[in-house]
Amino acid sequence: MRLVVFLFFILLQTVSARASIFETQTFTLNNGMQVVVVENHRAPVVSHMVWYKTGSIDDPAGKSGIAHVLEHMMFKGTPAVPNGEFSKIIARNGGSENAFTSLDYTAYYQNIARDRLELVMYLESDRMKNLRFSREDFSPELEVVKEERLMRIENNPGALLGERRNALLWGEHPYARPVIGFKKELSSLTLEDARQFYKTHYTPDNAILVVSGDITAEELKPLAEKYYGKIPPSRTPKAKKQFSESYPVRSKIEMRHPQIKLYSLQRLYIVPSYLSENKEQSFAYVVLDEILGTYHLGKMYKHFVAGKKTARSAGTSYNGFALDKGTFGFFLTAKDNESLDDLEKELDRFADPESITQKELDKAKKRLVADLEYLDDDPISAAMLVGRFYVLGLTMEDLKNWTTNIEKVTLADVKKAYADMLSAASVTTYLMPEDAP
């Protein structure tokens, strides 16, 4: 229910920003909680978000899925707010709310009228410190998560194949574990596991409050101090996350499944992220993704769909928002049951760094520089983007320099990034009907 993949996150992989779009103010409470304010006075509404610097990468060994299970438990109530009342209170006040867990972070948000902001701050701060844990709540909620896994993974051949691909691509790295958890490990999770995860990670000094919309820092600060400032920080210092190296694999997985009617091919590479040591190269991947993968305009579409007509759909995706390395993927759905072996050979011929032209580069950069203009009127997406930057350790300077970093990318930069990627660790997957030859 709450394992959400937002469509606009796809946009966030490929956008740039002007410095004038997100002017933020920040301050830190005495307990270590960072507060970020993004002013937007076009309408009397606000987006209130709490981002925790924890996700499935913090799941203890053998207990995958506990971060996501705790996200569910956060809606089970406190001594002051009975089970199920949190969402009902928000709805009665004309707001909307939800939460999501990712590999690197977990976030909770409410979108509501400005004059209801204090209400949601009370509700969110209450469950940060007073969450109720009972077997009566935990056991049925764990079953809900198991059913969610059954629906999203076990009954979804593409997701099941993706899970197997990630395990092969990342090896012992925590990114190999699914956010929702492995089937067997979910069954072994206990109430005490959830309680301990909450006690360890859900503290104000491990969280960032982002409020975007019709509010100023001067107005927000006393409210933040009133509701969040009194929560004691963790007594245990957070250790810097250490990541093991992924396997240097170049492999392939084939899956046949009775639910599948079309033939599809995907290839995923491990590449630098915005936080990698050579993060400057990440901007070359942003541009490369725009050149190759943009719908109707990208080289993938023009070659495989409009040109050769060997694919029904074609595209790419770059994910640079990761604490460790990122990924770059090619995606193809064959047309008329085209041989995937032939389609892969065609992809290998297509993937040529020297095929990128200066004209394609210039057009891609112009599109990227313009992409965030509409978000100037959208406090919800502003809060999502700003929060994501801060929770990963990026800064507003990184966001404000986004346009400059994109415009600095040269043709040589893109060609080098492309060439480096083609020699990096990768896994190719074939997904086919059950009776495929």
Q: Catalytic site residues?
A: 71
Q: How many angstroms separate the Cα of 301 from the Cα of each of 166, 293, 431? A: 26, 7, 20
Choose among 161, 417, 127: nearest CA to 267.
161
> In degrees rounded to 5, what are phi and psi of residue 349?
-70, -35
On the CB side of 327, CA atoms within 13 Å amount to 18
Strand partners, 35: 27, 209
98 contact partners, CB below 8 Å, separation of at least 6? 2, 4, 108, 109
Residue carrying structure tokens 């065609």 = 346
Q: Quote the tokens at residue 365.
A: 């950069």
Q: How many angstroms separate the Cα of 263 from the Cα of each of 260, 336, 343, 385? A: 8, 9, 10, 35
Q: Which stretch of DSSP H or E encloses residue 255?
A: strand 250-257
Name the residue type at position 398: D
Taking residue 434's Cβ as centre, other Cβ atoms within 10 Å add up to 11
Residues in the chain, total: 437
Helix, strand, coil proportions of the chain in percent (round to 5)? Answer: 45, 20, 35
Q: How many angstroms separate the Cα of 428 from the Cα of each of 14, 118, 268? A: 23, 50, 7
Distance, CA of 48 to CA of 110 (rounded, Å): 5
Q: Quote the tokens at residue 207.
A: 């969280």
Taking residue 44's Cβ as centre, other Cβ atoms within 10 Å add up to 11
Distance, CA of 228 to CA of 10 (rounded, Å): 32
